Structure 1
Amino acid sequence: MTLAHDAAGSGPPVLLLHSTVCDRRMWDPQLPALTDAGYRTVRCDLRGYGDSPVPQASYSDAEDVVELLDTLGIERTAVVAASGGGRVALEVAARWPSRVSALALLCTAMAGHEPGPALRAFGEREDTLLEAGDVGAATELNVDTWLTPDATEATREAVRAMQRNAFVAQLAGPDVAPIQAETDLSAITAPALLVSGARDLVDFRQVAARLAELLPDARRIELPWAGHLPSIERPEELNAILIDFLTIDS
């Protein structure tokens, strides 16, 4: 199936992959900045998020993304990805290195990372709330965990709406796990920017540090003010960082 998506602008392509707390609407603040900077900007919803239906059988997010690129006639693209979307981006860049020209990862997840106490406690609490059917409380848990107290109410409401939508869709569908492909991150050839937040859960700072060691051409930035979703909380600052990286590595 072709993932729900939209595109704007012209020029070198940039693909945006959302956090699994959100959907493609999280990139609303980035879309005009990237198109104004001269990029053809594509964003999509992974399965079970936003406008993409929940999976009905085994599936691969990475293969879905490559299928979308094929559909759009994009042979090679820069990829900007957040959190769970970063895990997908890493798989795409490792399995199809020639398709990815640059890789910007914001507070990224990573396959095989063993959760620490705080992340494990979050996951257990979320599971308990969802098993009890309390989607509202599970949504608020995510909003409070992934945004800093500095986030505006409009930002909190945007994340709340995206997360609730995902929970409702996924709980109504079958329990289908994605295919876990073996990937060798040393196969990645694209230059990488690793952005982490000093106010995020420690797991994501650990992942950024680990990837800085593993990837052949990586540089790391830690933002002292940032939690898990810096592109939403301070979009103008993130846009400048992203455009600078993409300009240098295009």
Structure 2
Amino acid sequence: MLAHERHGAGSPIVLIHGIGHRRQGWDPIVPLLVAEGHEVITVDLPGHGESPAYDAGGKDVKDYLHEVFEELYAHLGIDRPHVVGNSLGGLIALQGAVNGNAGSVTCLSPAGFWKGGRDFLYVRGLFRTMITAAGLLAPVAPLLMRYTVGKALGFSWLVQHPSRIPADHALGDFRNMLKARPAVAQLFKGAYMFEGPLPVPATIAWSEHDKVLLPYQAKVAQQRLPEAFHTVIPGVGHVPMSDDPQLVARVILDSIARAGKGTGAAA
């Protein structure tokens, strides 16, 4: 069973983090969504945070993640929640919609829209480089994460404003990235493109200063998923939740509102 937390009451929103991250990455926006009358469920992916190790048992990534989320939703007693995902979490949200496990999806710089092998090698190489660097910095990480310069060393490739991450969260994220290395390797081996179409209302929101999934991929997503609502989140990096919690929460709430109205695509 995936590790998870439940907050508030109301129509459920499931928040899914990206590769190498953990559920606490959503903490800045959880109270903002709860305040608008939602139950908010944050989840650790397999091999991340407090979830069990990644163990696909021979299944491909797509089928394995579908299985673990179906198990989670059955345990929680929820059906077709609003699903929000960042990076890999966005791809999981999109695939969940195809599988009938989401009432609407909101994707923050989702994976699955690179143009080809060279672009994918860039992303995989970036993670490999930064995780290797994190391993070298691990002995001094508790000290580094107290200071803006240390947070910048660890997270400027992921966020636009590293100083806005609390020191304890920064250290937890740093340690989690190292702990998640086996799962990260397996997820990259099984990476796949998302083609669509989408059977539910969807918002694709790309971070303006994304250094991981470069912003040109927003155009690829718009070409492949013309039925979705496409937008850009200004002033934020690939993992935008700590950069501007109010703005990210508004993107999510607006997406859910559009889904409730049944409105179609827009740019």
Instruction: Please tell me the TM-score bracket, short chain as reference.
Output: 0.7 to 0.9
Rounded Cα–Cα distance in structure 2 between residues aligned with 1:226 and 1:108: 15
Task: Tell me if the contact between 1:22 and 1:159 (Cα under 8 Å) persists in the aligned partners.
Answer: no
Give the aligned partner of residue 53 of structure 1.
52
1:1-250 correspondence runs (5 A):
2-58=1-57, 60-94=64-98, 96=99, 98-110=100-112, 114=116, 115=119, 119=123, 121-126=125-130, 128-129=132-133, 133-134=135-136, 136=138, 142-148=154-160, 150-152=161-163, 154-155=165-166, 158-167=169-178, 169-170=179-180, 177-178=186-187, 180=190, 185-201=195-211, 203-250=213-260
Q: CA deviation at 1:141?
A: 5.5
Once structures 1 and 2 are overlaid, which stretch shifts more, 134-143 or 69-78? 134-143
Q: CA deviation at 1:159?
A: 3.8
Secondary structure of the structure 1 residue equivalent to 2:13: strand
> Scaled by the length of structure 1, what TM-score is found?
0.81
- Letter of the 2:237 partner, please give it: G
Rounded Cα–Cα distance in structure 2 between residues aligned with 1:146 and 1:191: 27
Show CA shifts across 1:153-203 (max 9, x none). 544752442232241x335x6997358497864342111111112211273
Secondary structure of the structure 1 residue equivalent to 2:19: coil
Rounded Cα–Cα distance in structure 2 between residues aligned with 1:182 and 1:170: 20
- Letter of the 1:197 partner, please give it: S
Show CA shifts across 1:68-100 (max 9, x none). 011112121111111121122222222x1x321
Taking a change above 3 Å as real, the CA distance of residues 116 and 6 of structure 1, as seen in their structure-2 partners, is: closer
Show CA shifts across 1:92-113 (max 9, x none). 222x1x3211111112111775
> Scaled by the length of structure 2, what TM-score is found?
0.77
Show CA shifts across 1:185-242 (max 9, x none). 4342111111112211273423322222222521211133111122211101111221
**How many percent identity over aligned positions?**
25
Task: Tell me if the contact between 2:114 and 2:220 (Cα under 8 Å) persists in the aligned partners.
Answer: no
Q: CA deviation at 1:46?
A: 0.6
Secondary structure of the structure 2 residue equivalent to 1:91: helix
Task: Tell me if the contact between 1:15 and 1:78 (Cα under 8 Å) persists in the aligned partners.
Answer: yes
Task: Tell me if the contact between 2:91 and 2:194 (Cα under 8 Å) persists in the aligned partners.
Answer: no
Secondary structure of the structure 1 residue equivalent to 2:162: coil
Structure 1, unpaired ranges of 5+: none
Rounded Cα–Cα distance in structure 1 between residues aligned with 2:115 and 2:154: 20
Task: Tell me if the contact between 1:188 and 1:216 (Cα under 8 Å) persists in the aligned partners.
Answer: no
Once structures 1 and 2 are overlaid, which stretch shifts more, 157-166 or 85-94? 157-166
Show CA shifts across 1:101-144 (max 9, x none). 111111211177532675355245236547xx526399976512
The CA RMSD over aligned residues, in Å, is: 3.1
Rounded Cα–Cα distance in structure 2 between residues aligned with 1:4 and 1:18: 12
Rounded Cα–Cα distance in structure 1 between residues aligned with 2:172 and 2:8: 27
Structure 2, unpaired ranges of 5+: 142-150, 261-267
Q: How many residues align?
A: 242
Secondary structure of the structure 2 residue equivalent to 1:246: helix
